[in-house]
């Protein structure tokens, strides 16, 4: 049963007023992969009356269709940052949206979080608090570089004129925050909450002010260092930043879910479907991927500099139990439209399931060393694929499961580094869990660029490809590797793309048919590099390509242009 999205549904439940109304830039899809749906189920489980409005119409007062909530409005831009969803890396408008019924990109406004907040205040004067959440707000909680205006912007709470923000995954914060409001207590004491104050919090780390960041790029790097390093619930401090005459207060992050809590939330009765309210407008493409997929864990400690997962989800892995995951796989077989295929068994990085650094679990993430860097994997981090291997083998034994794919990204360097289980794990994947191709993400091959990206060097990729090719030959299969490649990352010049092209042709024995131009998104070190044109570690000047045509030229150097001609002429799919 869905949470209500119309007054008629509220009346059937006998509800006159909701406690919380959640607004999202996505259509209402009730899935454990959709943040707003998860928040709604958490609050429902606590006994609160919750409704969801997905992609409200901006012109006809649609935002009022559930009335005004008793406790607060929860506003999210959706599962994807609205600016990333709406524009390509070269700022061209995207025509499609996988979270919009019918697939046409005509429902998600630019800067959706700001638009929805203003929409609420237009129709409800002196309303209950407005609380921001989701990745769009979470990554903009302090001064941040905005690629689309090419300038530093204030923390989003100041531009949105909202009251609070719950940042990160926030499962525990949302419970404590809602309970505090319901009891008439001060929610500003809750971990994982941001708010605006007239006075600073002296006991918190004092970030460079917004004005300081505008005047000095080194100050902005200082700010981001503190922002990045204070994301772990075990060792993080609170943050305080002066913005004009007021202060952004970021409380330390809320605790992570443990395995029991992960299982509990996964057990909520999601319908795994699009709400009937939206169905007349068409299907949502995202359901093809997430409906029969299994999320095994949260977090990623890969720390690629262009990725914001570590800031939003955290750098510590939180896993579900094998028994709970197998239970979910068995439940899939009860759905009439389940064809025996599990689309994905994974997480942000699939092969991080089931192991973590013991030191990190006790003391929190390190500030002075990364778990993985260009030329080494931390010795304390013991890579171990045995638990994921066993899980995959057991899923294959579930009656009614024909195939369980691992479609999430994989760190090939971890497989090579796992001398005990890596070969057996990859053999399991090759024989049973991929369909013609496996996705890996070297992103580049220039050592200088890879270091700036926070990616491993070329050698692990060469070793992995040899292992992969050997296993496919032994299995009598012809399966390819799909390589994600990035052009125009800070530090990357045209000569680096020529080097990449040479490597893919002579070492990987393939001609890349796809590559993406780097997009500077908030919450990443790569975006800091793009704005400052400085290496954030050494503070030395680096080259940054900012001309759109030259960015496209970098991409064109490495890709097989005939691929696009074949696609345009209606040819079949090709290896990339």
- Binding-site members are 300, 304, 307
Q: How far is CA 180 from the centre of its chain?
A: 28
- Residue ranges of the alpha helices (H) in 230-357? 259-266, 286-290, 309-312, 322-332
DSSP per residue, 165-226: EE-SS-HHHHHHHHHHHHTT--GGGSTTEEEEESS--TTSEEPPPHHHHHH-HHHHHHHHHH
Per the listing, tokens 């008629």 go with 8
Q: How far is CA 393 from the centre of its chain?
A: 27
d(CA 149, CA 114): 15
Q: How far is CA 182 from the centre of its chain?
A: 30
Which residues are bridge partners to 404 per DSSP? 342
**Nearest alpha-carbon partner for 134 in 147, 118, 116, 149:** 116
CA angle 72, 137, 543 (to 5 degrees): 175
d(CA 95, CA 545): 26
Handedness of CA 101, 107, 111, 112 (dihedral sign): negative
d(CA 141, CA 227): 9
d(CA 5, CA 21): 9
d(CA 369, CA 267): 36
Which residues are bridge partners to 74 per DSSP? 22, 131
**Nearest alpha-carbon partner for 354 in 411, 308, 297:** 297
**Nearest alpha-carbon partner for 247 in 149, 143, 168:** 143
- Dihedrals phi, psi of 480, to nearest 5 degrees: -105, 165
- Residue ranges of the alpha helices (H) in 333-439? 358-363, 386-396, 412-417, 422-432
DSSP per residue, 77-99: --SS-HHHHHB-TT-PBPSB-TT
**For residue 236, what are the contacts with CB-CB under 8 A and spacing of at least 6?**
229, 230, 252, 253, 364
Task: Point out the annotated binding site for [4Fe-4S] cluster.
Answer: 300, 304, 307
Which residues are bridge partners to 297 per DSSP? 319
**Nearest alpha-carbon partner for 321 in 265, 371, 359:** 265
């Amino acid at each position: 049963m869905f949470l209500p999205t119309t007054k008629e549904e509220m009346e059937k439940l006998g509800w006159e007023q909701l406690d919380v109304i959640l607004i999202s830039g996505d259509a209402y899809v009730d899935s454990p992969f959709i943040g707003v749906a998860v928040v709604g189920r958490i609050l429902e489980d606590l006994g609160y009356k919750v409704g969801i409005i997905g992609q409200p119409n901006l012109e006809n007062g649609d935002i009022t269709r559930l009335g005004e909530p008793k406790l607060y409005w929860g506003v999210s831009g959706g599962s994807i940052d609205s600016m990333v969803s709406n524009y390509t890396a070269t700022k061209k408008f995207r025509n499609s949206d996988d979270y919009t019924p019918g697939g046409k990109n005509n429902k998600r406004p630019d800067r959706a979080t700001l638009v929805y907040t203003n929409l609420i205040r237009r129709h409800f004067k002196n309303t209950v608090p407005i609380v921001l959440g989701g990745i769009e707000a979470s990554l903009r909680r302090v001064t941040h570089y905005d690629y689309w205006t090419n300038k530093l912007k204030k923390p989003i709470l100041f531009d949105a004129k909202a009251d609070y923000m719950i940042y990160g995954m926030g499962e525990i914060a949302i419970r404590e925050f809602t309970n505090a409001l319901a009891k008439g207590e001060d929610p500003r004491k809750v971990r994982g909450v941001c708010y605006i104050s007239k006075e600073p919090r002296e006991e918190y780390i004092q970030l460079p002010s917004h004005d300081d960041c505008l005047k000095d790029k080194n100050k902005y790097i200082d700010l981001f260092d503190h922002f990045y390093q204070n994301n772990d619930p075990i060792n993080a401090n609170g943050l305080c930043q002066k913005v004009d005459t007021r202060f952004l207060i970021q409380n330390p992050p809320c605790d992570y879910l443990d395995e029991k809590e992960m299982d509990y939330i996964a057990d909520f009765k999601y319908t795994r479907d699009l709400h009937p309210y939206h169905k007349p407008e068409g299907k949502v493409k995202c359901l093809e991927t997430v409906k029969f997929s299994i999320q095994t864990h949260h977090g990623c400690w890969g720390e690629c500099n262009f990725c914001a997962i570590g800031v939003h989800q955290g750098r510590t892995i939180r896993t579900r139990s094998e028994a709970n995951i197998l239970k979910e796989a068995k439940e899939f077989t009860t759905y009439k439209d389940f064809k025996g295929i599990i689309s994905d068994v994974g997480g942000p990085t699939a092969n991080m399931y089931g192991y973590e650094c013991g030191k990190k679990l006790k003391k929190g993430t390190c500030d002075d060393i990364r778990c993985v860097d260009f030329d080494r994997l931390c010795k304390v981090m013991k890579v171990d694929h045995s638990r994921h291997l066993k899980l995959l083998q057991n899923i294959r034994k579930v009656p009614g499961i024909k195939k369980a794919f691992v479609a999430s990204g994989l760190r090939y360097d971890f497989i090579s580094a796992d001398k005990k289980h890596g070969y057996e794990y990859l053999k399991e994947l090759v024989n049973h869990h991929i369909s013609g191709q496996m996705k890996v993400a070297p992103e580049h091959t220039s050592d200088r660029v890879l270091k700036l990206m926070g990616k491993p060097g070329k050698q692990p990729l060469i070793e992995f490809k040899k292992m992969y090719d050997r296993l496919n030959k032994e299995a009598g299969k012809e399966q390819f590797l799909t390589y994600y490649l990035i052009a125009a990352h800070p530090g990357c010049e045209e000569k680096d793309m020529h080097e990449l092209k040479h490597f893919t042709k002579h070492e990987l024995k393939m001609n890349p048919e796809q590559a993406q131009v780097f997009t500077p998104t908030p919450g990443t070190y790569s975006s800091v590099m793009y704005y400052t044109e400085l290496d954030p570690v050494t503070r030395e000047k680096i080259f940054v390509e900012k001309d759109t045509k030259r960015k496209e030229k970098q991409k064109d150097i490495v890709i097989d242009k005939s691929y696009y001609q074949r696609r345009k002429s209606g040819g079949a799919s090709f290896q990339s």
